[in-house]
Structure 1
Amino acid sequence: MSLRILVGCKRVIDYAVKIRVKPDKTGVVTEGVKHSMNPFDEIAVEEAIRLKEKKVAGEIIALSCGPSQCQETLRTALAMGADKAIHVEIPSKEYDALQPFQISKIIAAVVKKENIDLLLLGKQAIDDDCNQTAQMTAAQLLWPQATFASKLDIEKNFALVRREVDGGLETIKVKLPAVVTADLRLNEPRYATLPNIMKAKKKPLVKLLASSLGVDLTARQEVVSVEDPPVRKSGHKVESVEELVKDLKKLGLA
């Protein structure tokens, strides 16, 4: 079996950056801020590469939707080991108003266009934490889905996925083609070596417009206001259990 795998690669503000709200409360500051590939997507890319190393996958295609800067994220995926990249270019203003539903339509259209056998996505993006895109894409494609994968094996025309649930571990079997989302413990992503970074510059990167895929990008929601979380009040030390109980009673907690 030689699968064609599509991997989603979202460009997000780097996890180590302290988020700042814009003065006008319309969003968060993104200009001049370090961005990187969504960590869960990076895990998905690594898993696709491991499947290719096992001779299960034949071609890995990285996909990103958004402004031109997304090409940097795609080059990272290519340097890790992806064979080809597709950038669905969306201007920043339009992209900021997009919802998972519209992104899922774009991904589904690319899946059909590229005859994909397995769609690998991160379980969620660390900027909006929606955890909706993969599920919606599976619905668009009428494909089975296996979310929060901590282990993935391909056997003939099926994917065996071990996933973490509240009660422990669950293993499910889904028929390919399917949608699988990567959880934190699926693997440890590799670092791109300098030779592979140089090779990535020569790998194909195809640019598409959402309109060419027949997807309507009209905004369906409006951000009214973005606020910083309330500042937590400082605590104080108590000298005894009695004093603690007294303070808790004042707060209505005891």
Structure 2
Amino acid sequence: MASKLRILVPVKRVIDYAVKPRVNKAQTAVETTGVKHSMNPFDELSIEEAVRFRERKYPVEDILAFSAGPAKSQDILRTAMAMGADRGLHVVEEKTELEPLGVAKVLQKVVEEEGRNLVILGKQSIDDDANQTGQMLAGLLGWSQATQASKVDIEGDSVTVTREVDGGVETLKAKLPMIITTDLRLNEPRYASLPNIMKAKKKPLQKKSMADYAVDTGKRLKTVKVAEPPARQGGGKVEDVGGLIGRLKELGAL
């Protein structure tokens, strides 16, 4: 008999993907004050895929959206619920910028307390681009993992994941419970409709603090300096192949 899918989908509030990041004056981080934020695009894929499991008649019992971060993170949890998540869990953390290992440790606790058997999360967030949380969570839980998923099929307790690799695609098969991280070709996330946005306001959103989980989320990384990349140099024109070869030699490319 197929296992009921109890899905956890972590989502993160990040600077909107359409905004050009600016380095702050102290060159310690990217400026976030007064900048538009939204759900991490890879996390949108994760919510969409979880909802599609239900629409494809997979035995989905519950979809729990989770976020750890400032009070404003509840906005993206409401968006996740408007897209189809059943409820939200917000660990409110205003002071500390959480690192991947700290997030993975909290997620481990949530998985255990909430009885999850499938975690779907974006392969990376577009702010730190760490691409670590899913892998670390799999290690902490001792679960199978399939990263950078472009297709997911579930049959009973078996999950088949097609994932993108440098040379093409790779297909993995594993048993539940497991961790899946999502890549851009997996699906096209839906827009939250106005009726669903209104319904999401009535869905349960639980708030907790880091103290509730008693895990070490202390910082292990230090940012020494953040700087803009150097401006790109303009190109030049050559008359013929001989001119191109001569220019490449001048630049030391040949």
Q: How many residues align?
A: 251
Match of 1:46 in 2: 48
**1:105-131 CA deviation, whole Å, 9 max, x = no partner?**
011111111000100001111111111
Contact 2:81 2:200 (C-alpha < 8 Å) held by counterparts? yes
Deviation of 1:154 after TM superposition, in Å, equals 1.2
Deviation of 1:155 after TM superposition, in Å, equals 1.0
Change in 2 beyond 3 A, CA 1:55/1:175:
closer
Query: Structure 1 length normalisation: TM-score?
Result: 0.96
Gaps of 5+ in 1: none
Match of 1:137 in 2: 137
Contact 1:161 1:172 (C-alpha < 8 Å) held by counterparts? yes
Query: Structure 2 length normalisation: TM-score?
Result: 0.96
**1:28-39 maps to which residues of 2 (within 5 A)?**
28-39=30-41
**1:60-75 maps to which residues of 2 (within 5 A)?**
60-75=63-78
Mean CA deviation greater in 52-61 or 23-32: 52-61
User: Which residue identity lines up with residue 105 of structure 1 in the other structure?
Assistant: K
Deviation of 1:72 after TM superposition, in Å, equals 0.5
User: Which residue identity lines up with residue 142 of structure 1 in the other structure?
Assistant: G
Contact 2:103 2:217 (C-alpha < 8 Å) held by counterparts? no
What do you get for the CA RMSD once the two structures are aligned?
1.1
SS in 1 for 2:75: helix
CA distance in 2, matches of 1:186, 1:20: 30
**1:98-247 maps to which residues of 2 (within 5 A)?**
98-247=98-247
**1:89-117 CA deviation, whole Å, 9 max, x = no partner?**
111x412xx32111110111111110001
Match of 2:91 in 1: 88
Mean CA deviation greater in 238-247 or 178-187: 238-247
Match of 1:17 in 2: 19
Are 1:7 and 2:9 counterparts?
yes
SS in 2 for 1:219: coil
**1:127-181 CA deviation, whole Å, 9 max, x = no partner?**
1111110000000111110111111111111211111223322221111010011
Contact 1:40 1:124 (C-alpha < 8 Å) held by counterparts? yes
Contact 1:3 1:57 (C-alpha < 8 Å) held by counterparts? yes
SS in 1 for 2:52: helix
Gaps of 5+ in 2: none
Which of 63, 75, 79 pairs up with 1:76? 79
Contact 1:52 1:59 (C-alpha < 8 Å) held by counterparts? no
Deviation of 1:246 after TM superposition, in Å, equals 1.6
CA distance in 2, matches of 1:237, 1:140: 55
CA distance in 2, matches of 1:7, 1:219: 24
Contact 1:56 1:154 (C-alpha < 8 Å) held by counterparts? no
